[in-house]
Amino acid sequence: MNTLKEALQSMKAPTLTEEQQMALREGARKGRIQGVLMTAAAGSGHPAGSLSSMELYLLAYGAARIDPQNPDDPDRDRVVVSHGHTSPGAYAALAFWGFVSEEDLVPHFRQAGSPFQGHVEREVPGIDWGTGNLGQGLAAGVGFALAARARGSEAWTYVLMGDGEQVKGQVAEARRIAAKERLNRLTVLVDLNHIQICGTTEAIMPADLVALWKADGWRVAEVDGHDVGALYVALREAREGDRPTVLLCRTVMGKGVSFMEGIPDYHGKVASGDRLRLALEELGASEAEAARVVKLRDAPLPRGREVRPPVPCLDAGSPLTYGAETKTDNRSAFGKALADLGARNRGVAGRTPLLVFDCDLAGSVKVDGFAAACPEGFVEAGIQEHAVATAAGAASTAGVVSVWADFGVFGLDEAYNQQRLNDINGSSLKLVLTHVGLDVGEDGKTHQCIDYAGLLRNTFDWRLVVPADPNQTDRAVRWALTEPGNVCLAMGRSVVPPILREDGTPFFGDGYSFRYGEVDVLRPGRDGSLLALGALAGRALEARDLLAREGLEVQVLHTACPLGLDPEELLPLLGTGPLVTVEDHHVDTGLGASVALILARSGRVVPLRTLGVTRYGDSGASRDVYRRMGLDAPGIRDAFLSLRASHA
Amino acid sequence: MNTLKEALQSMKAPTLTEEQQMALREGARKGRIQGVLMTAAAGSGHPAGSLSSMELYLLAYGAARIDPQNPDDPDRDRVVVSHGHTSPGAYAALAFWGFVSEEDLVPHFRQAGSPFQGHVEREVPGIDWGTGNLGQGLAAGVGFALAARARGSEAWTYVLMGDGEQVKGQVAEARRIAAKERLNRLTVLVDLNHIQICGTTEAIMPADLVALWKADGWRVAEVDGHDVGALYVALREAREGDRPTVLLCRTVMGKGVSFMEGIPDYHGKVASGDRLRLALEELGASEAEAARVVKLRDAPLPRGREVRPPVPCLDAGSPLTYGAETKTDNRSAFGKALADLGARNRGVAGRTPLLVFDCDLAGSVKVDGFAAACPEGFVEAGIQEHAVATAAGAASTAGVVSVWADFGVFGLDEAYNQQRLNDINGSSLKLVLTHVGLDVGEDGKTHQCIDYAGLLRNTFDWRLVVPADPNQTDRAVRWALTEPGNVCLAMGRSVVPPILREDGTPFFGDGYSFRYGEVDVLRPGRDGSLLALGALAGRALEARDLLAREGLEVQVLHTACPLGLDPEELLPLLGTGPLVTVEDHHVDTGLGASVALILARSGRVVPLRTLGVTRYGDSGASRDVYRRMGLDAPGIRDAFLSLRASHA
Do the beta carbons of residue B140 and residue B80 sit within 8 Å? yes
Question: Where would I find the H helices in A550-632?
Answer: 567-574, 591-602, 622-628
Q: CB under 8 Å to A494, separation ≥6 — which residues?
A: A329, A439, A441, A535, A622
Q: CB under 8 Å to A41, separation ≥6 — which residues?
A: A106, A107, A109, A290, A293, A294, A297
Residues B552 and B478 in one domain: no
Distance of CA A441 to the CA centre of its chain: 28
Q: What's A375's DSSP letter?
A: G
Q: Residue A631 and residue A625: Cα distance in Å, rounded?
A: 9
Looking at CA atoms only, how far is residue B247 from chain A in angstroms? 19
**pLDDT confidence of residue B1:** 60
Residue A310 has pLDDT above 90, yes or no: no
Strand, helix or coil at A311? coil
Nearest-CB residue to B168 (from A384, A601, A604): A384
Does any domain span residue B508?
no
Judge: A111–B624 Cβ closer than 8 Å, yes or no. Answer: yes
Q: Residue A308 and residue B638: Cα distance in Å, rounded?
A: 33
Q: Residue B348 and residue B336: Cα distance in Å, rounded?
A: 20
Q: CB under 8 Å to B325, separation ≥6 — which residues?
A: none
Tell me whether residue A237 is exposed, middle or buried, using C-beta atoms within 10 angstroms of its C-beta: 0 to 12, 13 to 18, 19 or more: middle
Cα dihedral B19, B22, B28, B33, rounded to 10, equals -120
Residue A268 has pLDDT above 90, yes or no: no
Residue A1 has pLDDT above 90, yes or no: no
Q: What is the pLDDT of residues A99-142, one digit of tens each?
A: 999 999 999 999 999 999 999 999 999 999 999 999 999 999 99
Residues B485 and B528 in one domain: no
Residues B264 and B359 in one domain: no
Q: Which of B175, B414, B447, B589 to mutate to test the interface with A (most CBs of A within 10 A)?
A: B414
Q: Residue B551 and residue A437: Cα distance in Å, rounded?
A: 51
| Cα separations in angstroms, A279 against A37, A273, A284, B173 | 10, 10, 9, 38
Q: Residue B82 and residue B132: Cα distance in Å, rounded?
A: 7
Supply the mean pLDDT for chain A: 97
Q: CB under 8 Å to B286, separation ≥6 — which residues?
A: B280
Supply the mean pLDDT for chain B: 97
Q: CB under 8 Å to B296, separation ≥6 — which residues?
A: B103, B106, B107
A640-645 average pLDDT score: 98
Query: Which of residues B473, B490, B507 is at a domain's end?
Result: B490
Does any domain span residue B319?
no
**Contacts A180 to B, Cβ<8 Å:** 205-206
Does any domain span residue B307?
no
Q: Which residues pair with B379 in a beta bridge?
A: B357
B166-195 average pLDDT score: 98
- H or E segment and range at residue A648: none
Do the beta carbons of residue B404 and residue B389 sit within 8 Å? yes
First-residue to last-residue Cα distance in chain B? 81
**pLDDT confidence of residue B241:** 84
Distance of CA B134 to the CA centre of its chain: 14
**pLDDT confidence of residue B419:** 98
Q: Residue B469 and residue B463: Cα distance in Å, rounded?
A: 18
Judge: A212–B216 Cβ closer than 8 Å, yes or no. Answer: yes
Number of domains in chain A: 3
Residues A262 and A357 in one domain: no
pLDDT-above-70 percentage for chain B = 100
Question: Where would I find the H helices in B311-444?
Answer: 330-345, 362-365, 368-373, 385-395, 408, 416-424
Residues A95 and A169 in one domain: yes
| Cα separations in angstroms, B228 against A325, B14, B19, B220 | 53, 13, 12, 18
Radius of gyration for the alpha carbons in chain A, expressed in angstroms and rounded: 28
Residues B141 and B187 in one domain: yes
Residues B567 and B469 in one domain: no
Residues B269 and B353 in one domain: no
Closest to A94 (Cα-Cα) out of A60, A117, A140, A130: A60
- H or E segment and range at residue A516: none
Looking at CA atoms only, how far is residue A607 from chain B in angstroms? 6
| Cα separations in angstroms, B509 against B13, B322, B330, B498, B562 | 63, 8, 14, 9, 22
Nearest-CB residue to B362 (from A172, A198, A413): A198
Q: What is the pLDDT of residues B59-114, one digit of tens each?
A: 999 999 999 999 999 999 999 999 999 999 999 999 999 999 999 999 999 999 99
Does any domain span residue A305?
no
A501-521 per-residue burial string, b: 16 or more CB within 10 A, e: under 16: eeeeebbbbeebebebbbbbe
DSSP letters spanning B191-245: EE--EETTEEHHHH----HHHHHHHTT-EEEEEETT-HHHHHHHHHHTTSSSS-E
Judge: A164–B131 Cβ closer than 8 Å, yes or no. Answer: no
**pLDDT confidence of residue B253:** 95
Looking at CA atoms only, how far is residue A97 from chain B in angstroms? 24
Do the beta carbons of residue B559 and residue B591 sit within 8 Å? yes
Does any domain span residue A317?
no
Q: What is the pLDDT of residues A146-174, one digit of tens each?
A: 999 999 999 999 999 999 999 999 999 99
Tell me whether residue A241 is exposed, middle or buried, using C-beta atoms within 10 angstroms of its C-beta: 0 to 12, 13 to 18, 19 or more: exposed
Question: How many CB contacts within 8 angstroms connect chain A with chain B?
Answer: 349
A207-211 average pLDDT score: 98
**pLDDT confidence of residue A641:** 98
**Contacts B455 to A, Cβ<8 Å:** 416, 454-455, 458
Query: Which of residues B296, B315, B343 is at a domain's end?
Result: B296
Q: Residue A88 and residue A46: Cα distance in Å, rounded?
A: 8
Q: Residue A629 and residue A438: Cα distance in Å, rounded?
A: 9
A528-536 average pLDDT score: 98
Do the beta carbons of residue B190 and residue B249 sit within 8 Å? yes
Q: Residue B496 and residue B490: Cα distance in Å, rounded?
A: 14
Do the beta carbons of residue A218 and residue A178 sit within 8 Å? yes
Task: For A269, name the nearest residue in chain B, comparing CA atoms only.
Answer: B364
Closest to A359 (Cα-Cα) out of A336, A386, A338: A386
3-state secondary structure A18-57: HHHHHHHHHHHHHHHHHHHHHHHHHCCCCHHHHHHCHHHH
Closest to B382 (Cα-Cα) out of B648, B26, B142, B148: B142
Judge: A624–B445 Cβ closer than 8 Å, yes or no. Answer: no
Residue B2 has pLDDT above 80, yes or no: no
Closest to B120 (Cα-Cα) out of A538, A68, A443: A443
**pLDDT confidence of residue B263:** 86
Judge: A198–B358 Cβ closer than 8 Å, yes or no. Answer: yes
Q: What is the pLDDT of residues A435-487, one digit of tens each?
A: 999 999 899 999 999 999 999 999 999 999 999 999 999 999 999 999 999 99
Radius of gyration for the alpha carbons in chain B, expressed in angstroms and rounded: 28
Residues A208 and A71 in one domain: yes
Specify the length of chain B in residues.
Answer: 648
Q: Residue B221 and residue B241: Cα distance in Å, rounded?
A: 13
Judge: A380–B205 Cβ closer than 8 Å, yes or no. Answer: yes
| The Cα angle at residue B122 between residues B119 and B123, in degrees rounded to 5 | 95
Q: Half-sphere exposure of B599 toward its Cβ, with a 13 Å CA cutoff? A: 32
Q: Residue A208 and residue B172: Cα distance in Å, rounded?
A: 12
Does any domain span residue B261?
yes
Nearest-CB residue to B180 (from A205, A409, A446): A205
Domain housing A62: 2-296
Q: Half-sphere exposure of A259 toward its Cβ, with a 13 Å CA cutoff? A: 14
Do the beta carbons of residue B207 and residue A216 sit within 8 Å? yes
Do the beta carbons of residue A592 and residue A532 sit within 8 Å? no
**Contacts A172 to B, Cβ<8 Å:** 167, 169, 172
Does any domain span residue B501?
no
Q: What is the pLDDT of residues A479-518, one digit of tens each?
A: 999 999 999 999 999 999 999 999 999 999 999 999 999 9
Say which CATH number the domain at B351 has.
Answer: 3.40.50.970
**pLDDT confidence of residue B415:** 98
Say which CATH number the domain at A558 has.
Answer: 3.40.50.920
| Amino acid at residue number B240 | E
Judge: B442–A110 Cβ closer than 8 Å, yes or no. Answer: yes
Strand, helix or coil at B575? coil
Does any domain span residue A314?
no
Q: What is the pLDDT of residues A604-630, one digit of tens each?
A: 999 999 999 999 999 999 999 999 999
Q: What's B329's DSSP letter?
A: B
Closest to A87 (Cα-Cα) out of A112, A66, A55, A57: A57
Q: How confident is the model at residue A264 (pLDDT cuts 50, 70, 90)?
A: confident
Q: Half-sphere exposure of A53 toward its Cβ, with a 13 Å CA cutoff? A: 33
Residues A206 and A351 in one domain: no
Q: CB under 8 Å to B199, separation ≥6 — which residues?
A: B264
**pLDDT confidence of residue B98:** 97
Looking at CA atoms only, how far is residue B334 from chain A in angstroms? 19
pTM score, whole prediction: 0.98
Report the greatest alpha carbon distance in chain B. Answer: 92
CB atoms within 10 A of CB A414: 31
Judge: A206–B196 Cβ closer than 8 Å, yes or no. Answer: no
Q: What is the pLDDT of residues A580-599, one digit of tens each?
A: 999 999 999 999 999 999 99
Task: For B577, name the nearest residue in chain A, comparing CA atoms only.
Answer: A603
| Cα separations in angstroms, B155 against A300, B74, B429 | 64, 9, 21
Q: How confident is the model at residue B146 (pLDDT cuts 50, 70, 90)?
A: very high
CB atoms within 10 A of CB A98: 16
Residues A259 and A353 in one domain: no
Question: Where would I find the H helices in B561-629?
Answer: 567-574, 591-602, 622-628
Q: What is the pLDDT of residues A26-35, one digit of tens each?
A: 999 999 999 9
Residues B347 and B236 in one domain: no
Closest to A360 (Cα-Cα) out of B628, B314, B267: B267
Q: How much of chain A is helix, strand and coil, in % rounded to 5?
A: 40, 15, 45
